[in-house]
């Protein structure tokens, strides 16, 4: 048990002792209760100065996630390596359609298992291996969007396969170009812009379905006709390629790229929406459902003044993610940051009042990492 000043209480903390009405033996709130925002107001309004808080670490959900995350992360790693092997070997021999399909199938079953944790993984970025991790992450995001759009399992398989291979043509572009630090010369840009066509050729040579081939060729086309290689617009672009257009740009934005700063998920969403004419509105809508309004990793200010980090999103409650409250309203880091699901009935007095700007985001993440509780 730890004594906490009432000004430092945040919703979700668990009482270690009964709270009595002042100067009586009447129990107001019993030990073991998880404090809500109203209870905290009540405690403050009674003039109580401090209360005992139960410090036993984490709830069972945290425990489960602590176990699950490393397993999922290893699977994710393995998936990236498998895609790398497949793609690299395609330089010597035709790609085996079955091998890619089975990878897409594996991804699909992981998406069905715990899509929220998987979404978390796509947001953990490494400096190296961009092409292959990008392929896997885009495939995951694309499958999640496909699910929201009501695709059948068979269609999702096709979609996942196409997503894994959408950038295959990059292999035909000299590596110095796509790994170049700094801006590309006009000639290099011309070369990069050929990768959808190279991809089409490679996939055709390996005998992939017309649908998969179209996605590779069309994923840089834009809804308003501003894309390449053909400047197709609206319905001229296959629907699957219109999905890829969104997930591909989003993942590129949140990744480390040599030529620009990595964006936060919020910045990447803002970026997409600032050019919304380039994307199919139906796809954008589904994508926002998947990512939610306050995407994973966002730092938000609750109406109670506390600062929390979004740790889990759900398409059923895009405005009400699960958060972990890290800072009290004075900005002090909490020893025992509670986890709150804003979608739960008892938490509806709380809401997200605003998101913090990206610079704040990086600073707060560093403060939390420095304290090192290592919570999911």
Partner 1 sequence: MKADLINPFLAAAFDILERMGKTRAARGQLSLASSPVRGDEVNVAVGVTGDLLGQVIFCMAERTATQLASNMLMGLPVIALDELAKSAVSEFSNMVTGNAVGELGNRDIICSVTPPAIFVGKEVTVSAKDLSFLVIPLQTELGDVKIYIALREANG
Cβ atoms 118, 65 nearer than 8 A = no
The residue with tokens 């292959």 is 132
Least distance CB 364 / partner 1 (angstroms): 22
CB closer to partner 1 out of 281 and 331: 281
Pull the structure tokens for residue 30: 């019993």
CB closer to partner 1 out of 234 and 353: 353
Report how far residue 57's alpha carbon sits from residue 227's, in angstroms, rounded to the nearest whole number: 51
Binding mask 131-150 for partner 1 (x = CB under 8 A): --------------------
Q: Assess 7 for contact with partner 1 (CB under 8 A).
A: no
Among 126, 205, 273, 371, binds partner 1 (CB under 8 A): 273
Of 95-103, 191-199, 247-255, 351-359: span binding partner 1 (CB under 8 A)? 351-359
Of 226-234, 283-291, 328-336, 361-369: span binding partner 1 (CB under 8 A)? 283-291
CB closer to partner 1 out of 63 and 353: 353
Among 14, 42, 204, 233, binds partner 1 (CB under 8 A): 42
Q: Assess 303 for contact with partner 1 (CB under 8 A).
A: yes
Report how far residue 330's alpha carbon sits from residue 261's, in angstroms, rounded to the nearest whole number: 30
Q: Assess 37 for contact with partner 1 (CB under 8 A).
A: yes
Of 194-202, 249-257, 277-285, 367-375: span binding partner 1 (CB under 8 A)? 277-285
Least distance CB 204 / partner 1 (angstroms): 35
Among 220, 320, 324, 361, binds partner 1 (CB under 8 A): 320
Least distance CB 86 / partner 1 (angstroms): 36
Cβ atoms 320, 343 nearer than 8 A = yes
Nearest to 287 by CA among 90, 144, 127: 144
DSSP-derived pairing of the beta strands 50-53 and 27-29: unpaired
Q: Assess 330 for contact with partner 1 (CB under 8 A).
A: no
Angle subtended at Cα 367 by Cα 365 and Cα 373, rounded to the nearest 5 degrees: 85
The residue with tokens 């929390």 is 308
Phi then psi dihedrals of residue 348, to 5 deg: -75, -10
Number of Cβ within 10 Å of residue 340's Cβ equals 25
Q: Is 372 left (phi over 0), alpha (psi -120 to 50) or beta?
A: left
Q: Assess 317 for contact with partner 1 (CB under 8 A).
A: yes
Q: Assess 21 for contact with partner 1 (CB under 8 A).
A: no
Least distance CB 308 / partner 1 (angstroms): 15
Q: Is 205 exposed, middle or buried (0-12, 13-18, 19+ CB in 10 A)?
A: exposed
- Note the helical H segments in the chain: 37-45, 60-89, 97-113, 115-122, 130-148, 153-164, 175-178, 186-192, 195-205, 210-218, 239-254, 265-274, 281-291, 358-371
Of 125-133, 155-163, 333-341, 342-350: span binding partner 1 (CB under 8 A)? 342-350
**Can you name the residues that pair with 299 across neighbouring β-strands?**
309
Of 135-143, 168-176, 242-250, 345-353: span binding partner 1 (CB under 8 A)? 345-353
Least distance CB 51 / partner 1 (angstroms): 16
Among 34, 62, 77, 270, binds partner 1 (CB under 8 A): 270
- Taking each helix axis from N to C end, the angle separating 281-291 and 130-148, rounded to the nearest 10 degrees, works out to 100
DSSP-derived pairing of the beta strands 2-5 and 27-29: unpaired
Least distance CB 314 / partner 1 (angstroms): 11
Q: Assess 264 for contact with partner 1 (CB under 8 A).
A: no
Q: Assess 318 for contact with partner 1 (CB under 8 A).
A: yes
Nearest to 247 by CA among 226, 275, 219: 219
Among 2, 179, 189, 319, binds partner 1 (CB under 8 A): 319
CB closer to partner 1 out of 126 and 273: 273
Binding site residues, partner 1, CB under 8 A: 36-38, 41-42, 45, 269-270, 273, 276, 281, 284-285, 288-289, 293, 303-304, 317-320, 345-346, 348-351, 353-354
């Amino acid at each position: 048990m730890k004594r906490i000043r009432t000004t430092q209480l945040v919703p979700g903390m668990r009482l270690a002792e009964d709270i009595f009405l002042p100067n009586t033996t009447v129990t107001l709130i019993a030990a073991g209760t998880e404090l809500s925002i109203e209870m905290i107001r009540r405690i403050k309004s009674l003039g109580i100065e401090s209360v005992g808080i139960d410090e036993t670490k984490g709830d069972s959900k945290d425990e489960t996630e602590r176990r699950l995350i490393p397993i999922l992360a290893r699977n994710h790693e393995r998936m990236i390596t498998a895609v790398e092997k497949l793609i690299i070997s395609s330089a010597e021999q035709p790609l085996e359609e079955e091998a890619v399909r089975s990878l897409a199938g594996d991804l699909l079953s992981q998406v069905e298992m715990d899509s929220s944790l998987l979404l978390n993984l796509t947001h953990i970025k490494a400096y190296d291996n961009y092409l292959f991790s990008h392929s896997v992450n885009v495939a995951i995001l694309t499958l999640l969007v496909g699910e929201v759009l009501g695709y059948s399992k068979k269609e999702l398989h096709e979609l996942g396969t196409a997503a894994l291979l959408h950038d295959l043509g990059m292999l035909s572009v000299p590596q110095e170009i796509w790994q170049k630090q700094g801006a590309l010369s006009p000639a290099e840009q011309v070369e990069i812009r050929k990768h959808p066509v190279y991809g089409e050729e490679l996939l055709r040579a390996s005998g992939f379905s017309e649908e998969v081939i179209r996605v590779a060729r069309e994923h840089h086309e834009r809804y308003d006709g501003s894309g390449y290689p053909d400047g197709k617009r609206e319905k001229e672009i296959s629907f699957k390629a219109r999905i890829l257009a969104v997930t591909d740009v989003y993942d590129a934005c949140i990744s480390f790229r040599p030529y620009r700063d990595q964006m936060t998920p919020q910045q990447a969403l803002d970026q997409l929406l600032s050019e919304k004419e380039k994307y199919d509105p139906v796809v954008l809508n589904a994508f926002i459902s998947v990512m939610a309004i306050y995407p994973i990793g966002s730092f938000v200010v609750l109406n109670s003044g506390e600062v929390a980090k979004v740790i889990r999103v759900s398409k059923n409650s895009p405005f009400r993610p699960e958060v972990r409250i890290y800072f009290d309203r004075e900005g002090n880091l909490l020893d025992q940051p509670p986890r709150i699901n804003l979608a739960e009935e008892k938490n509806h007095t709380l809401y997200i009042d605003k998101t913090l700007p990206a610079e704040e985001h990086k600073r707060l993440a560093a403060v939390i990492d420095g304290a090192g509780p290592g919570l999911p």
